[in-house]
Amino acid sequence: MHSVLLIEDDPQHAKIVKRILEHKDFQVTLCEDGKTAVDLIRKRDFDLYLIDINIPYINGIELVKFIKEQNKTGFIIMITAAVEEENFEKAYGYGCDDYIKKPFHAAELEMRIKHLLKESVKFDDYEFNFHSGDLFKNGERVNLRKKEKRLLHILLKNLNYTVYNDKIIDFVWEGENKKNYPLRQLVNELRKKFDKDYIKTVVGVGYRFEV
């Protein structure tokens, strides 16, 4: 079940969107302002963030920036009553994935979410399935170890964006109580599974999968 953080200060609109999402078996957490959203985001990850651009205390654009600064892996859809080019240039610059304009039909929202939460990603001769962790090249499965699958998962969920080292370690070595994590070695091993070097090192920061 996918988790959604819905940030909307219009009670009627929030109720409608929440009902639409829950009807499609999404687990929805609702909050009405940017401060509450920040507290929730610090505590946990969500698969999807639905953010109204005009919310109290911290606006939607600043919230997009905060989500990316926290290195969260979920997708972001902005909700707005009016499309202002300058605002959306900022939002996309900070890492927003899509936007939807009020009023909208349930089918439109479902389509946009389905596109973002797709089960697999394709690039060149490869396809990676997020649910199974399987990587295929021209239809043939590429042999990956468990930690290689998890590393590839988090990098491809943030395709073309840098993922911080700490975030990768928390995800790949989840629940393991170790002092030293051989992240560089794991990245180098994963690189060998591809014909070209998709994984770029951001020195002192993290890694980025570029296509």
Domain match, 187 and 137 both: yes
* Pairing between β-strand 135-137 and β-strand 140-142 as defined by DSSP bridges: antiparallel
Domain match, 15 and 81 both: yes
Among candidate residues 98, 103, 117, the one with its CA nearest the CA of residue 50:
98
Section 4-25 average pLDDT: 91
Q: Would the pTM count as exceeding 0.85?
A: no
Higher per-residue confidence, 182 vs 97? 182
CATH code where residue 172 lies:
1.10.10.10
Which domain-ending residue is among 68, 93, 116? 116
In the predicted model, is pLDDT for residue 149 greater than 70? yes
> What is the C-alpha separation between 60 and 211, in angstroms, rounded?
28
Task: Report the chain's mean pLDDT, rounded to a whole number.
Answer: 87
* Count of domains forming the chain: 2
123 forms beta bridges with: 126
- Is 59:34 a contact under the CB 8 Å cutoff? yes
**173: containing domain:** 120-209
Domain match, 110 and 10 both: yes
Domain match, 161 and 69 both: no
In the predicted model, is pLDDT for residue 211 greater than 80? yes
Q: What is the pLDDT of residues 46-83, one digit of tens each?
A: 989 999 988 999 988 899 989 988 878 788 998 887 66
Domain match, 159 and 147 both: yes
pLDDT band with cut points at 50, 70 and 90 for residue 175: low
Predicted pLDDT at 85: 61
* Six-digit token string for 55: 């919310």
Q: Please enumerate in sequence order all residues whose Cβ is within 8 A of that of 55, keeping only pairs 6 or more positions apart, or say none.
A: 7, 8, 9, 32, 33, 34, 37, 63
Predicted pLDDT at 177: 64
**In the chain, how many H helices and how many E strands?**
8, 12
Among candidate residues 191, 194, 148, 188, the one with its CA nearest the CA of residue 171:
148
Q: What is the pLDDT of residues 82-118, one digit of tens each?
A: 666 667 677 777 778 888 888 888 888 888 888 778 7
Q: What is the pLDDT of residues 21-32, one digit of tens each?
A: 998 889 999 999
Domain match, 60 and 153 both: no
Domain match, 103 and 11 both: yes
- CA torsion angle for 116, 122, 124, 125 (degrees, to 10)? 180
Domain match, 62 and 34 both: yes
